[in-house]
A and B are shown apart, each in its own frame.
Chain A
Amino acid sequence: MKKFKPLSLLSLIFLAGLVFLAIFLPLLSNTDPNTFNPDLIGDALAPSLTNWFGTDDLGRDLFIRTFSGARISILVAVVSVSISISIGLILGLISGFSSKAVDSILMRFVDLMMAIPTIFLILTIQVILTPSIWNVMIVIGLTSWMGVTRIVRAEVLSIREQLFITAAKARGISNTKLLFKHILPHTLPPVIVAATLGMGSAILTESVLSFLGLGVQPPDASWGNMLDNSLGYMRESPWMAIVPGTFITLTVLALNILGDDCRAKFNPKES
């Protein structure tokens, strides 16, 4: 196996650290991320040795809140991407391997889904149902599988014409086995990239929703509603925007760098 590139190693360390702190920091810390001291209201503190990332307008420690918010972001990323990859992979495989009629129907359905502006759909659903982070995850998952379907379909179309597929067929391998055992692995490298990119965009979508007040509800922290919260204090206390903003950017960047390196690593031809 090839070693990771230094940059993706750095990304891996960053993400691992993020996951670790997101899981354990809120458990171990005796500071509750949501309760605030009434005496400190309206007076955000700049980063210092006691509050590493500073505090917000309610005097809550931003370090704790950032990692408590990271839980939400990671959960959203993993759950929604799992949903979208599962749907995308299965429909893509079917579409690429089936008859022209089935393929056309599925692809037109993809076009239809793509025509729906995701953010408005999510907003509508969040308004109709009570805003909940689980709704956000499911809706992001159900509205972001189309890209994966197209990628997988395109891969299947090119792989199914390869000689080794004809050769496998000549050995008497059934179509189902051909599709899931011989074609599926070849579609995974781009899917891994799509998954990491999807995680990045799911984190962004969640941030947008929380920023708009329709995602994670206060007092629970999420990077999006922390940003939303910072709006009024941008001049006096810029760290309130910089901290969640930096984490969103770095996490999405790290996922993309890692995804790209994974694609190269999982390809046996390049090892």
Chain B
Amino acid sequence: MLKVENITTIFKTGQNTVTAVDDVSFDVPENSTIGLVGESGSGKSVTALSILQLLSSNGKTTSGKVLWKDEDLLSSSEKSFQSIRGKEIGLIFQNPLAALNPVFTIGNQLVETLQLHNPKLSKLNALEKAEHLLTEVNIPDAKKRLNDYPHQFSLGMCQRIMIAITIAMNPKLLIADEPTASLDVTIQAQILHLLNELKIKNKMSILLISHDLGVIAQHCDHVLIMYLGKIVESGTPLDIFKSPQHPYTQALIDSIPNPDPSIKKEPTLLKGDIPSPLNIPTGCRFHTRCPKAFDTCEISEPPFQNHLKNSKTSKVACHLFENKPK
């Protein structure tokens, strides 16, 4: 349904050009949940914003294609883009409170969205529908709360309202940019449960962006691991979590805390920080922090290929697996 093909997004900062997303490709089929995982600064959010072309004014997607139902969004006009945003592809954010306009009541914002893509809808019907949407995302006392301002809700409720606004038009794809990162675990579970319910009910796909591997493992059909603007490994959750291949993926999985106190395990710590996207390391961009790096890693960039014998879905970009039979 959504096909992202080799997109590269750059930001101009003063004299410098930062490549935040470098040659990224992936598919989001119908009725599926795709997980996009990576550290802060790995380009996950920029990928999401690039799909909808909501980059800040100094950002630009310089190459590649974003195919939505076989139409390239990047070359479509602003006007036709507006009819896709919100109506066909929805977007929710990490900080729901900041994503709601503080000077309007949530009823107002819901009605606005409903009428935007359906101008014939009367205000009264829109309000009725808004109330229904709020009930659907489990906001108690929905009718009364339509008149409240965003700051009068808790963060978890704000995220549910944000979801209500986003699913108002029944989008076929929901891009969830770290939807639960600012919420505590019980609320996180509620939100993810709600998203899953809506996914089944509205027959939509979800592109779930997260740095929480637990969340990803539980909810996704396919996982993409991103590092410094590139996808370094992709596969089903089973591929990724049972047999992680890329040293970066291994380190990520290794650093998940285990709630069992009887297991004392020291995570393998990666050296240093994620390098600045201003000067990306040569060759494999992970070699500066990779525990298994060797000479070739510094010189040439590894191809993104399938190396796993028993899996057709897995792909990895690492020199360790080169010259090995498929």
Max chain B Cβ within 10 angstroms of own Cβ: one of A169, A181, A185: A169
Contacts of A49 in B (CB 8 A): none
Known contacts A166-B54, A167-B93, A268-B149; A172 and B87 CB within 8 A of each other: yes
Interface contact B116-A173, CB-CB below 8 Å? yes
A171 at the interface (CB under 8 A from B): yes
* One of B60-68, B78-86, B137-145 contacting the partner: B78-86
B151 at the interface (CB under 8 A from A): yes
A182 at the interface (CB under 8 A from B): yes
- Partner among A166, A171, A186 whose Cβ is within 8 Å of the Cβ of B165: A171
Smallest beta-carbon distance A271→chain B, Å:
9
Interface contact A172-B101, CB-CB below 8 Å? no
B102 at the interface (CB under 8 A from A): yes
Chain B, residue nearest A168 (CB): B101
Contacts of B85 in A (CB 8 A): 169-172
- In the complex the two chains form, what is the Cα distance from A175 to B166 in whole Å? 19
A164 at the interface (CB under 8 A from B): yes
Interface contact B166-A171, CB-CB below 8 Å? yes
A to B contact number (C-beta, < 8 Å): 61
Contacts of B166 in A (CB 8 A): 171
Give chain A interface residues in 88-135, CB to chain B under 8 Å.
none
Chain A, residue nearest B87 (CB): A172
- In the complex the two chains form, what is the Cα distance from A167 to B166 in whole Å? 9
A174 at the interface (CB under 8 A from B): yes
Smallest beta-carbon distance B66→chain A, Å:
14
Max chain B Cβ within 10 angstroms of own Cβ: one of A162, A164, A175: A164
- In the complex the two chains form, what is the Cα distance from A182 to B99 in whole Å? 12
- Partner among A162, A172, A268 whose Cβ is within 8 Å of the Cβ of B82: A172
Interface contact A172-B83, CB-CB below 8 Å? yes
A1 at the interface (CB under 8 A from B): no
Known contacts A170-B86, A171-B86; A163 and B54 CB within 8 A of each other: no
Smallest beta-carbon distance A157→chain B, Å:
10
Known contacts A162-B98, A268-B103; A170 and B149 CB within 8 A of each other: no
B170 at the interface (CB under 8 A from A): no
A161 at the interface (CB under 8 A from B): yes
- In the complex the two chains form, what is the Cα distance from A200 to B4 in whole Å? 58
Interface contact A269-B99, CB-CB below 8 Å? no
- In the complex the two chains form, what is the Cα distance from A144 to B165 in whole Å? 42
Chain B, residue nearest A100 (CB): B57
Known contacts A167-B93, A269-B151; A172 and B86 CB within 8 A of each other: yes
B113 at the interface (CB under 8 A from A): yes
Give chain B interface residues in 80-135, CB to chain A under 8 Å.
82-87, 90-91, 93, 95, 98-104, 112-113, 116-117
Interface contact A171-B116, CB-CB below 8 Å? yes
Smallest beta-carbon distance B142→chain A, Å:
20
B46 at the interface (CB under 8 A from A): no
Contacts of A185 in B (CB 8 A): 103-104
Known contacts A169-B54, A172-B82; A164 and B99 CB within 8 A of each other: yes
- In the complex the two chains form, what is the Cα distance from A170 to B101 in whole Å? 13
Chain B, residue nearest A271 (CB): B149
Give chain B interface residues in 39-55, CB to chain A under 8 Å.
49, 52, 54
Max chain B Cβ within 10 angstroms of own Cβ: one of A170, A174, A181, A186: A170
B56 at the interface (CB under 8 A from A): yes
Contacts of A182 in B (CB 8 A): 101
Chain A, residue nearest B49 (CB): A166
Smallest beta-carbon distance B295→chain A, Å:
44
- In the complex the two chains form, what is the Cα distance from A172 to B149 in whole Å? 22
For the complex with contacts A164-B99, A167-B93, 16 further pairs of A-B residues with Cβ separation under 8 Å are A163-B93, A163-B99, A164-B101, A167-B91, A167-B162, A169-B54, A170-B85, A170-B90, A171-B85, A172-B83, A172-B117, A173-B86, A173-B112, A181-B112, A186-B103, A268-B103
Sample (12) of A-B pairs whose CB atoms are under 8 Å apart: A164-B98, A164-B99, A164-B101, A166-B93, A167-B93, A168-B101, A169-B85, A171-B165, A172-B86, A172-B87, A181-B112, A268-B149
Which B residues have a C-beta under 8 Å from some C-beta of A? 49, 52, 54, 56, 78, 82-87, 90-91, 93, 95, 98-104, 112-113, 116-117, 149, 151, 162, 165-166
